Structure 1
């Protein structure tokens, strides 16, 4: 209190007419009263002297300030009259102290009208008796300290702590506080609910009891380092719950410092990140699948603008991610596909999936066959926020399907032709046979020859057959795998399926006759087969195949021409639009056929052959 204020109250006391009060004039005051007044006037602490049983008020500047607008009227008044709102309390106090008691109250509550309106006031009160020389009590000395600001501050702190604890107990994370040495003295409710540990076991650094043993040493080393340096602590490790299951937590502690910068405590949290890690792992797996998938995987926002573009899409369509992200996927559609584009988004925006085989356009403008699956992407509330699309290149599948359709048509056609050949073979063989056993033998041999031709064609996917391999396959039953009796000479030539089947039949009939009556019926006989490209009379190039026997029995032309003769001389020639010569000189049978090049396959399975030239 400034000295000027002290002088003010002192002057008021000196000038006051005390003779008009039970206290009496100043010159008649007893020594104890004078000393008490001098004491309170010199004190900066609010003090008031309540003299006599009436409690006549004499107070200092500090009390004047405490009294508010009721000062200076309080001076010289009985306390009951001065503070009527607390008259009963003051009466009891004065009575007790006048009987020799000393009283003390801490944060005593009153509702006072210090400034004309009621207000809540808390005060510390200390009352002691003032005695005459004979020991009798003459008055009450009171020290009055207004603690209202501290009470409000303490209440605010308690409320703040209560709010903090309520908040801390209801957050999803564990929360805890530790002293400067790291000894934990408080955990929130979530911690106890999860661990099941009582506080006595969990206090200080008891939580390592719940850590996975593989992580304890590493985590504690980092904790101790942060306690030493005062830096923020952060770590990730698993903690075991009361059910014995470990879950992963992100743990963090912040140092709280005083004004001098010294750490006075730590506040820490442990946040469960198990689901986050599991989700991150799933996302990483999905990202790996997307990045390594040969399929094109693309995402679009709700406006149809491309948001992601995987390497498979880049490989398939030729665009890099930088070239397409942020652009409409309309650029992947053919120029005349406006209706397909609009229809797709009509279905998608209604929440429907779109799955179809279609075509899409590459960067270079070429079209590619794709199987496309597009689906809406939804938020947790079900709202559509974008679309995902998977493109699969089905070019090869389409090629195979087209090839299969062609093969089925070709198979049907060839089956009909084959059955027609077999029917004709059976009729002709039966017409020239009088014995069932002979008929059966002849049919079996001819069908086996036809089968050999088919085996070669199947091996080459019915694109044709090597002429040399065809000859060897048909003659193998007659000459064996290797025979000095057989000589083959000619350039590598492939003939088509029609030529292979018909030449196979003719070669079989020639070989059968040679084995029965000709060069293949004796060990001295020889068979020479040659082929070459030669011009005909119109100078048109043809493939000419020649059969020449020698060294066998003397040839005598057959008196009766059977089915084999018909095949050799007429059937094959008609089927292949070929010129056929069939001769019977005494030294050995000769047969030749000159085929148009329409029946020559101009490529081989190993690569493209050169154009045939005249030999």
Structure 2
């Protein structure tokens, strides 16, 4: 504040006298400075002010006139009606540490820090103002960049927090001792516990005992810094006692010195995949078993057919028919995924190739039952053999000949139920019992007794063959010990 003792002179002369003494000092100041009299006329300024203005004011020019082409705005972008010097001249109140934006014509905008003080004479009358202003554009850019960076960091943290909580995979943070530090929502669903419960758990407490040592050793190495991350598939006991499979990828977070801070484990429930793999392996094993059995059956058919035929042509015809019967049975089993086959379908498939008038030549009666793959394949070959013999020598060799096939299931506790099948031929040529069993009879007897643990009875009555076949529906169950 400039003050002068003695008789009060006029404001202009008083300010001029003061400026004569301070003019050289202004140029020594590191910040831009200008002085205006009470009318707003620029009466003194330093070199730093000229550098920021980019030009020199005309003698006697007021600050309002000198800055008329500029626009003054708050940092929020609100337009100020006049320069802040005019406001201090009007109110005599100082402005301190005020930051504004100055938009200049044909020059870059500046962000300026203002400190404007009123100048009073000895009697307290306003004689002018002194304006100290600094270019803080670069600092403001840094402040804004920092604010943007902090905002982006907050947004990134919010996104990460949302991703962490709502990820479809489980995420767990654990300390070096295996204590749970933080868990997300998905892991709660996977293991079947609450957040509070999990935060009291330790890493390997519910790991299946057969997998615990492997996972524990890998995590020990990770904490020690011997490995950076690892993946493992292990069994885990849920809170409800159900065992599940989980895939785990474990990584570590360390400080700049390499000290272990905590581990991050990403967890997926892979139970369905492991079960599918188990089913697939079983299917492959079953397929291999079936292929081997089928090859063995075909080899046996070929050998038996060769022993029962006198020529290559006869062998070809008989062998082809048996293969076709076997193929039809395979089709029936495939449609049922090799779990079982409908007995009626097996009967129809085995007899159909030899029937020109099915409705007149064959009668099929029996309840709907399913049989095992082994029974289906064996019965298909047996029924094919019997139908072939009937077409050559029995009822189907005569125009009026007819076959009747019927079955029923007879309970016989404690053993498995017995499938009883009857085959009757009618209206065919007269029948005589052969002097010795032919190949067909031997094939039928051997197939039923050896493959199915059943029995066959053939009665060669004059009016037609009557054959009964008894087969246990579950031979394996009969091997189990029974208790009263």
**TM-score, scaled relative to structure 2:** 0.64
SS in 2 for 1:534: strand
Q: Which residue of 2 aligns with 1:432?
A: 308
Q: What is the alpha-carbon distance in structure 1 between the residues aligned to residue 160 and residue 275 of structure 2?
A: 33
Q: What is the alpha-carbon distance in structure 2 between the residues aligned to residue 440 and residue 582 of structure 1?
A: 27
Displacement of 1:341 after TM fit?
5.5
2:382–2:444 CA contact under 8 A, matched in 1: yes
* Residue 206 (structure 2) pairs with residue 329 (structure 1): no
* Residue 17 (structure 2) pairs with residue 45 (structure 1): no
In the superposition, relative to structure 1, how do residues 469 and 346 fare at CA in structure 2: closer, same or farther (>3 Å)?
A: same
Q: What is the alpha-carbon distance in structure 1 between the residues aligned to residue 243 and residue 415 of structure 2?
A: 46
Number of residue pairs aligned between Structure 1 and Structure 2? 389
RMSD of aligned C-alpha atoms?
Answer: 4.9
Q: Which residue of 1 aligns with 2:361?
A: 485
2:403–2:425 CA contact under 8 A, matched in 1: yes
The structure with the largest alpha-carbon Rg is 1
Indicate the structure whose relative CO is greater, using CA pairs within 8 Å and at least 6 residues apart.
Answer: 2
SS in 1 for 2:235: strand
Mapping of 1:91-490 within 5 angstroms?
106=19, 108=21, 155=29, 181-182=79-80, 200=106, 203=109, 270-271=144-145, 273=148, 280=155, 284=159, 287-288=162-163, 291=166, 293=168, 295-301=169-175, 304-325=178-199, 327-334=201-208, 339-340=213-214, 342-349=216-223, 350=225, 351-377=227-253, 384-479=260-355, 483-490=359-366
Q: Which runs of 5+ in 1 are unaligned?
A: 1-42, 48-102, 109-121, 125-150, 163-174, 208-253, 260-264, 603-615
Q: What is the alpha-carbon distance in structure 1 between the residues aligned to residue 357 and residue 267 of structure 2?
A: 54
Deviations 1:364-403 (A, max 9, x none): 2333222222112356887654322223333334334444
Q: Which residue of 1 aligns with 2:12?
A: none
Aligned partner (choices 418, 424, 433) of residue 542 of structure 1: 418
SS in 2 for 1:555: coil
In the superposition, relative to structure 1, how do residues 460 and 588 fare at CA in structure 2: closer, same or farther (>3 Å)?
A: same
In the superposition, relative to structure 1, how do residues 276 and 560 fare at CA in structure 2: closer, same or farther (>3 Å)?
A: farther
**Does 593-602 or 451-460 show the bigger shift?**
593-602
**TM-score, scaled relative to structure 1:** 0.52
1:545–1:594 CA contact under 8 A, matched in 2: yes
Displacement of 1:581 after TM fit?
0.8
In the superposition, relative to structure 1, how do residues 549 and 285 fare at CA in structure 2: closer, same or farther (>3 Å)?
A: farther
2:164–2:171 CA contact under 8 A, matched in 1: no
Deviations 1:122-175 (A, max 9, x none): 799xxxxxxxxxxxxxxxxxxxxxxxxxx79x959769xx9xxxxxxxxxxxx9
SS in 2 for 1:582: strand
2:173–2:182 CA contact under 8 A, matched in 1: yes
In the superposition, relative to structure 1, how do residues 478 and 290 fare at CA in structure 2: closer, same or farther (>3 Å)?
A: farther
Q: Which residue of 2 aligns with 1:598?
A: 474
Q: Which residue of 2 aligns with 1:566?
A: 442
Displacement of 1:319 after TM fit?
0.8
In the superposition, relative to structure 1, how do residues 277 and 518 fare at CA in structure 2: closer, same or farther (>3 Å)?
A: farther
2:211–2:235 CA contact under 8 A, matched in 1: no
SS in 2 for 1:333: coil
Q: What is the alpha-carbon distance in structure 2 between the residues aligned to residue 369 and residue 395 of structure 1?
A: 5
Deviations 1:570-589 (A, max 9, x none): 33222211121112223222
Aligned partner (choices 475, 497, 504) of residue 373 of structure 2: 497
1:541–1:596 CA contact under 8 A, matched in 2: yes
Displacement of 1:306 after TM fit?
2.9
Q: What is the alpha-carbon distance in structure 2 between the residues aligned to residue 257 and residue 552 of structure 1?
A: 132
Displacement of 1:509 after TM fit?
0.2
